[in-house]
């Protein structure tokens, strides 16, 4: 098959173009909003200048640009090392690859449960939001970006009384604490008892609008509750919380 009568064109070429387009789309989506974006823009500018220099036959500029671009592969790997590492780790955590490789999962649930248990014992109020399939960008944008590995000590430090972020919610995505001090929508459910404070109403509010799981620790009583799928479960024991997390997160 020839395209416009000049270039031989096979069916496989269509699949090739589609696959390349998908890979480029996923790559740009992955680096969007990261520090890699301006670096990539800089590399593209270098390529454009080099092409213009060749087209205009600017020999000195072409030589300088070619000298820089000869090491672009090494520079790319060095500059994008964190992004490449995260991308490979994300691929390795996909279910289809776990069939072939045993991937050790970080103790996310244990860290969350440990933090909740200790805050409950100390009667430290907390609001922990765990993102699932529905994105929470509008919620995350109301807080302070952290992008830190989940850690019990870090969670307890965030909610320690009188710290700047202790009044808002912590948002967890995957194995990372994405943001803290986030503002959640309050539930307007008229059947919700007046004995519940703002944290419980906020937990139920976000559970009514998304598929996220929201854990609450009461500052007054130290009791643990969680909201999920527009329902608020109160007086939750630590063992039940852990079993519920294991079930809900793996859904």
Three-state DSSP state, 117:
helix
* pLDDT band, very low/low/confident/very high, at 23 (cuts 50, 70, 90): confident
For residues 201 and 186, the answer to whether their CB atoms sit within 8 Å is yes
Angle at which helices 36-55 and 11-31 cross, to 10°:
130
Tokens of 44: 């593209």
Mean pLDDT of the chain: 80
pLDDT at 87 over 70: no
Which of 5 and 226 is assigned the larger pLDDT?
226
pLDDT at 79 over 70: no
Structural domains present in the chain: 2-98 (no CATH), 108-249 (3.40.1700.10)
Strand partners, 145: 179
Q: What is the mean pLDDT of residues 41-70?
A: 76
Per-residue pLDDT, 22: 84
Give the per-residue pLDDT at 58: 79
pLDDT per residue over 69-78, tens digit each? Answer: 666 666 666 6
Cα-based distances in Å from 19 to 14, 73, 97 = 9, 22, 20
pLDDT by residue (tens digit) across 179-190?
A: 999 999 998 887
């Amino acid at each position: 098959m020839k395209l416009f009568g000049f270039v031989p064109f096979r069916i496989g070429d269509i699949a090739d173009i589609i696959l390349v387009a998908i890979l480029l789309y996923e790559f740009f989506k992955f680096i969007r909003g990261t520090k890699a974006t301006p670096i990539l823009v800089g590399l593209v500018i270098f390529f454009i200048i080099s092409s213009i220099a060749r087209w205009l036959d600017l020999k000195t500029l072409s030589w300088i640009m070619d000298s820089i671009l000869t090491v672009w592969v090494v520079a790319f790997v060095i500059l994008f090392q964190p992004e490449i590492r995260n991308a490979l780790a994300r691929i390795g955590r996909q279910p289809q690859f776990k069939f072939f490789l045993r991937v050790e999962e970080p103790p996310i649930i244990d860290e969350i449960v440990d933090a909740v248990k200790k805050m409950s014992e100390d009667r430290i109020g907390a609001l922990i939001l765990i993102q699932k399939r529905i994105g929470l960008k509008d919620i995350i944008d109301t807080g302070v970006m952290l992008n830190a590995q989940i850690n019990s000590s870090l969670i307890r430090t965030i909610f320690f009384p009188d710290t700047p972020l202790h009044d808002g919610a912590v948002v967890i995505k995957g194995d990372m604490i994405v943001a803290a001090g986030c503002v959640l929508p309050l539930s307007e459910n008229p059947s919700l008892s007046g004995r519940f404070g703002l944290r419980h109403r906020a937990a139920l509010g976000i559970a009514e609008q998304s598929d996220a799981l929201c854990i609450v620790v009461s500052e007054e009583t130290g009791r643990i509750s969680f909201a999920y799928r527009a329902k608020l479960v109160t007086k939750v024991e630590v063992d039940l919380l852990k079993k519920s997390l294991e079930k809900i997160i793996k859904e």
